Structure 1
């Protein structure tokens, strides 16, 4: 979602958009297989991706204040995803899920 927002703001070429969508499709396919094998590892991986996203958006905030509100919202969402994924990766199979659906 955030990637699509950034792509819309920068107005990339159709070829670039196609490559992004194709890489997303490939990633989703491979990630789904990996998740069936090791969900804990996948949650940890996503948690680390979210950490990098928070760093990236923080840098964007410092470089371009005109998009401040958009970047603040995206950064907050990424920080939440990071927390959820690291929490899920640390849980045992029989642990209670602390998150409600959609949270």
Structure 2
């Protein structure tokens, strides 16, 4: 059942199947690789993961759109919801880029990683949409955890809480004097929403349904 709580930053879906454990393991590998490659420069592996974070939602939107066409069924607005999620993830990346531009080598790495990840995730989602949504949910969980740690460091004075970039102020309608911590608070809420939606889709598919039920038993 779909129950979104963008203020719950501790929610975690415990792996309940082999597919869930595979998805969780893949996210741990991605987190570790991102941290080893860029951790010192960006502070958190989740920042680099934003470069590919928009891929799952766009793949989900595409394949759900095609499934609804084949079955001649109403998507109930979920295709647009996943496209909005992809756009939101791209906005996360643009906000970070406004703070610190990646170098040429990093841009090349990001381009290659994006191409590989898109094709791999597309294939995964074709084979097992449930695993694809579960992986996306765990990616969002990882982002929530990393943003929470970064917010704590910023608000405690361990890191300089620089002004939020103009892009972030406009996109999230932040106050003019917003700081980086305010931007990350908004991003963390976004990720909590993505987490709940994708875990709900994975649960629905595991139960034999195409779309998740909303609270009250409505689709």
Equivalenced residues, count:
99
User: What does the per-residue CA deviation read over 1:20-55, in whole Å, with 9 as the maximum and x for residues that have no partner?
Assistant: 122122101110011000000111111111101000
Q: TM-score, normalised by structure 1?
A: 0.83
Structure 1 runs of 4+ with >4 Å offset: none
Q: Does 1:70 align with 2:183?
A: yes
Q: Determine which structure has the larger helix proportion and give its number.
A: 1
Segments of structure 1 that go 5 or more residues without pairing to the other structure are none
The reply on whether 1:94 has 2:209 as its aligned counterpart is yes
With 31-40 and 67-76 compared, the bigger mean Cα shift is at: 67-76
Q: Distance in 2 between matches of 1:45 and 1:28?
A: 13
**29, 32, 48: which one pairs with 2:119?**
29
Q: Give the RMSD, CA atoms, in angstroms.
A: 1.8
- Select the structure of larger CA radius of gyration: 2
1:47 equivalent in structure 2: 137
Structure-2-length-normalised TM-score: 0.42
